[in-house]
């Protein structure tokens, strides 16, 4: 009899424990919601108007209402609002996963007040599975969208994606793809086919290191007054790093094929680097620019206001480079590379204003370019010597470079023109010979 009673007591305790697990999961979910929600809306520049959390035993429901920034409201008298609704199935952790269904609704202030949440326009649905180890997988879906006014017609076939998140947000992997986006205006039509974005973010030394890639299967630009442009196989890959408060950014670009009118080009690619860009100074530059724009400062005055921080940015010796460029043209391949960086600069803003040579002396630059002779002759022949005040075409610029001896026939390949330019300490060398700075810096 004692064994039966003991068995019943143990069974009761097990059942009670299993029953408590979902409630405990609800408590933990509420803690996480309360902690994470303020970070999300502050980062997205959203003003929190109201939030609620109704915790049940096996499930909970949370709702937050935000005021959208003014630029997202077409009618300032009726502010646009964003409602975020979470339905949480607590599950039986660690036996089964918890499930969170999140839906974003948008509507004006009057619509939000007079209708239920489900009657508003859903703009995003997210289904998140929280695994037993604390990791989560979220499936995203944005419905198809069609917007039309007097000036434009937008058709979007929706968006799908997944977000993989490690516990405590230590690693976030995102995959997003959209089948088609089409925009028609009075000027023409833009069609984007099968765009895919992959993004990986990992914490490192108090910042998020990111690796991103974007691919677009097909991009059509069809202007009413210009030949259509079709780009196929667009690839962009980038990653960033931060060393001693300085941003290091690498970018790779690729294009399988391009068609402009009846002309075909490609494949083409280019690699770029941005090194030693001081983040605090960049932040000051951005803040100053936003402040001047909000105050309606004229562009020339605004640029003058950026000058002190611009000079401070140069003190950190930033670099930019095009490490390789290959453009496959019908006439041949255009190849080149460029690197520009700063040497230590002595003297402040006033010194540079009164003596620009000081600033030129601080630049180090290396450029090498190869261009097919057939292409160069074609461009220079098509360059029409119009009115002197009209902007110079690429062909006119190339013609000037040939006349000055900056572009010369390549010794190792008679079918190409080449140019090698080196600038250091204010001394300019072009194709191995010293030249005056006015050859590339005209008065």
Residue 204 lies in a domain: no
Residue 402: Cβ-neighbour burial (10 angstroms; 0-12, 13-18, 19+)? middle
User: Along the 443 residues of the chain, how does pLDDT read in single tens digits?
Assistant: 544 443 443 443 344 444 444 555 555 555 555 555 555 555 556 777 777 777 666 677 888 887 776 655 554 455 677 888 888 776 655 556 677 788 888 776 655 554 555 556 678 888 888 776 777 888 888 888 887 877 888 888 888 999 888 876 668 888 999 999 999 988 889 999 999 999 888 776 666 678 899 999 999 998 888 888 999 999 999 998 888 888 899 999 999 999 988 888 889 999 999 999 998 898 898 888 888 888 888 877 888 888 888 888 888 889 999 999 999 988 889 999 999 998 777 766 666 666 777 778 888 999 999 999 888 888 777 655 543 433 457 778 888 888 888 888 988 778 899 999 999 988 889 998 898 877 776 54
Residue 402 lies in a domain: no
CA dihedral (165, 169, 170, 175) in degrees, to 10, reads 30
Q: Which residues span the domain enclosing 76?
A: 1-135
Residue 261 carries which DSSP code? T
Using alpha carbons, select from 164, 161, 153, 199 the residue that is nearest to residue 179. 161
Residue 69 lies in a domain: yes
Phi-psi region of 332 (alpha: psi -120 to 50; beta: other; left: phi over 0): left
Long-range contacts for 258-266 (Cβ within 8 Å, ≥24 apart)? 258/229, 258/230, 258/231, 258/232, 259/228, 259/229, 259/230, 260/227, 260/228, 260/229, 261/227, 261/228, 263/330, 264/330, 265/327, 265/328, 265/329, 265/330, 266/232, 266/233, 266/328
Residue 87 lies in a domain: yes
Residue 1 lies in a domain: yes
Residue 274 lies in a domain: no
Amino acid 182: pLDDT: 92
The pLDDT tens digits for 15-46 are 444 444 455 555 555 555 555 555 555 555 67
Residue 361 lies in a domain: no
Amino acid 6: pLDDT: 39
Amino acid 361: pLDDT: 81
Amino acid 353: pLDDT: 64
Name the domain count of the chain: 1
Phi-psi region of 57 (alpha: psi -120 to 50; beta: other; left: phi over 0): alpha
Amino acid 396: pLDDT: 80
Residue 292 lies in a domain: no
Classify 405 as helix, strand or coil. coil
Amino acid 192: pLDDT: 93
Beta strand pairing call for 246-260 and 263-265: antiparallel
Q: Are 341 and 364 in contact (CB under 8 A)?
A: yes
């Amino acid at each position: 009899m004692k064994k039966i009673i003991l068995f019943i007591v143990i069974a009761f305790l097990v059942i009670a424990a299993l029953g408590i697990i979902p409630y405990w999961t609800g408590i933990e979910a509420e803690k996480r919601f309360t902690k994470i929600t303020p970070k999300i809306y502050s980062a997205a520049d959203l003003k929190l108007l109201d939030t609620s959390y109704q915790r049940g035993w096996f499930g909970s429901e949370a709702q937050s209402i935000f005021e959208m920034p003014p630029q997202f409201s077409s009618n300032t008298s009726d502010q646009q609002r964003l409602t975020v609704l979470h339905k949480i199935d607590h599950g039986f952790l660690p036996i089964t996963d918890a499930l969170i269904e999140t839906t974003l609704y948008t509507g004006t202030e009057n619509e939000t007040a007079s209708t239920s949440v489900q009657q508003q326009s859903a703009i995003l649905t997210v289904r998140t599975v929280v695994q037993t180890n604390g990791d989560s997988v979220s499936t995203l879906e944005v419905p198809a969208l069609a917007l039309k006014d007097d000036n434009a017609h937008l058709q979007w076939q929706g968006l799908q994606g997944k977000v993989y998140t490690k516990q405590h947000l230590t690693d976030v992997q995102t995959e997003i793809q959209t089948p088609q986006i089409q925009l028609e205006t009075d000027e023409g039509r833009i069609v984007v086919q099968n765009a895919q974005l992959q993004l990986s973010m990992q914490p490192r030394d108090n910042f998020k290191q990111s690796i991103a890639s974007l691919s677009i299967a097909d991009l059509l630009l069809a202007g009413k007054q210009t030949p259509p442009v079709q780009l196929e196989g667009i690839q962009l890959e980038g990653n960033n790093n931060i060393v001693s408060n300085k941003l290091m950014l690498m970018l790779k670009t690729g294009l399988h094929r391009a068609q402009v009118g009846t002309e075909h080009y490609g494949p083409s690619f280019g690699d770029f680097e941005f090194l030693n860009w001081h983040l605090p100074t960049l932040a000051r530059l951005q803040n100053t620019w936003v402040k001047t724009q909000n105050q309606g400062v004229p562009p020339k005055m605004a640029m003058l206001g950026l000058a002190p921080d611009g000079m401070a940015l140069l003190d950190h010796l930033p670099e930019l480079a095009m490490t390789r460029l290959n453009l496959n043209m019908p006439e041949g391949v255009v190849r080149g590379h460029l690197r520009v960086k700063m040497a230590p600069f002595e003297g402040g803003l006033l010194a540079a204003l009164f003596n620009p040579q000081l600033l030129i002396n601080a630049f180090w630059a290396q450029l090498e370019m190869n261009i097919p002779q057939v292409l160069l002759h074609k461009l220079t022949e098509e360059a029409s010597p119009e009115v002197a005040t009209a902007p110079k075409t690429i062909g006119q610029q190339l013609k000037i470079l040939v006349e000055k001896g900056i572009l010369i026939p390549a010794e190792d390949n008679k079918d190409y023109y080449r140019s090698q330019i080196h600038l250091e300490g204010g001394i300019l060398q072009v194709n191995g010979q010293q030249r005056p700075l006015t050859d590339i810096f005209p008065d």
